Structure 1
């Protein structure tokens, strides 16, 4: 995969009786490309999430960023920090069936566009959604950046039992990225994930950047770590290359 010109557009996807808005980014040149569903943070389809989809597309991927909050707050684009409590409130509206339906709609779109493989990449809360989706849907590869709440039942998406307990349902490869200085995901949680993935014989890698905080991937934030971010992107490109 190498940087390429891209095109972007907003599309509408049918999800049950509802219509979900999604942001799509793809290489400008026709070709056979992997498909990737992008799971956003608690801030919705924020500019940083769209930028991540754009970068994936520039690597040679068809990226679809669904609006996971479309049932209660369509096209929500919350302001970083300022709207954190609102974002957490919206996160608590996500359900397992809803996430599976939303991701399934994106996968259907990617199939229709001729994607050569179906994958998902998620960030923070979207990383949790990606991990759960991987336990339920035929994803070739899943990458989750600093996904929280996987080992507890603190959010509805991780109930009635912790999402980690669904790990045996994963059929593709998994890469998890964490910051060693992330107060939201402690070493014990990472160890639990390692054990669950190993016990289930899932092809996986857990990458820990010792000095990195939560949210290290996106530029323009105090906790952005350029070297760590670039290493993550390189690993992600390798994963999607298959």
Structure 2
């Protein structure tokens, strides 16, 4: 079992401002959600070995908010992920995106995806991610009027994989939506399981949103996951948009497909309502 101690915990002090360098240039289609009527900004989440930064957005009045964990892309909790949190907050949710790479490094200033993978992402243990998300939920209840009887999770790309795994880890989650997350992979000390490995035992309903033209997530792995889910006991479903590439929801990138992204977002909202995350 991996251990995390203050001795080896060097946390970034703040979240990245704006968009990650690797994600630029930024598309003219980029959506910006304002902060009117919201409490939105950086917070610190106490974890077992220190504190990690997170972006929190919630209505500025009320309490007992349904909670949505928003799990970052490979680029970290940059402006796009923060905007997704504000979109949820505008709908009455408490949305929190903890920085999952806080111990391993700051990817916001890296310009190459391979550098991000080799220097940071490849060093992030699933055990750490699960524990930090647990800590985020605890903080949501004690510090932001979150209702832990109404917990949802969503994540994109790197975070899409995490959605499946966290739903298996914490049955307190009522429902999840995974956007084009990797489903299969090699079992290692840091990543002992992948979504396909837990699919049959999964009980939390997950909606998987994938693109038929995704050059990172082969369709045969999507079908493999669907078969495993069908053999299990959850109400999980997978939707494939035939003409959509990887990153079709990322409105700041050339991969953005507005019509598909809007349809998928509506499916997410219906999914959360159907399973009590509202």
Alignment TM-score, normalising by the size of structure 1: 0.90
CA distance in 2, matches of 1:237, 1:5: 20
Contact 1:120 1:143 in 2 (8 A): yes
Partners of 2:211 and 2:241 within 8 A in 1: yes
Give, in whole Å, the separation in 2 of the partners of 1:110 and 1:198.
Answer: 33
Question: Greater CA deviation, 192-201 or 163-172?
Answer: 163-172
Distance between the aligned counterparts of 1:168 and 1:140, measured in 2?
17
Aligned equivalent of 2:108 = 77
Within the candidate set 105, 127, 147, 1:97 is matched to: 127
Render the CA deviation track for 1:52-94: whole Å, top value 9, x for unaligned. 11112122211110010011225x4356xx3312322222112
Which structure has the bigger radius of gyration?
A: 2
Is 1:59–1:237's contact at 8 Å kept on the other side of the alignment? no
Instruction: Spell out, residue by residue over 1:93-138, the C-alpha distance to the aligned partner (whole angstroms, 9 max, x if none).
Output: 1212101111101111223323241111000001111111111112
Q: Give the 3 Å change call, closer, same or farther, for CA 176–70 of structure 1 in structure 2.
A: same
CA contact (8 A) 1:13 1:106 kept: yes
Cα distance, 1:154–1:209 mapped onto 2, change above 3 Å: farther
Aligned to 1:177: 209
CA gap of 1:69–1:177, structure 2 versus 1, over 3 A, is same
CA distance in 2, matches of 1:240, 1:208: 19
CA distance in 1, matches of 2:178, 2:97: 14
Q: What is aligned with 2:140?
A: 110
Q: Which one of 98, 119, 122 corresponds to residue 155 of structure 2? A: 122
User: How far apart, in 2, do the equivalents of 1:155 and 1:39 lie?
Assistant: 22
- Measure, in 2, the Cα distance between the counterparts of 1:156 and 1:183: 26
What are the Cα deviations for residues 139-193 of structure 1, in whole angstroms up to 9, with x where unaligned? Answer: 1111110001x2221776543x444212244332100000110011122111111
1:87 paired residue number: 116
Change (3 A) 1:239 1:5: farther
What is the CA–CA distance in structure 1 between the aligned matches of 2:92 and 2:267, rounded to whole Å? 14
Structure 2 CA distance for partners of 1:20 and 1:9, relative to 1, 3 Å: same
Q: Scaled by the length of structure 2, what TM-score is found?
A: 0.79
Q: Where do 5+ consecutive residues of structure 2 fail to align?
A: 1-33
Q: Unaligned stretches of 5+ in structure 1?
A: none
Cα distance between partner residues in 1 of 2:220 and 2:78: 31
Whether the 8 Å contact between 1:216 and 1:225 is mirrored in structure 2 is yes
Segments ≥4 residues shifted beyond 6 Å: none
RMSD (Å) for aligned C-alpha atoms: 2.0
1:71/1:23 Cα in 2 relative to 1: closer, same or farther (>3 Å)? same
| Alignment: residue pair count | 235
1:212 matched to 2:252: no
Partner SS state of residue 34, structure 1: strand
Give the corresponding residue for 1:63.
95
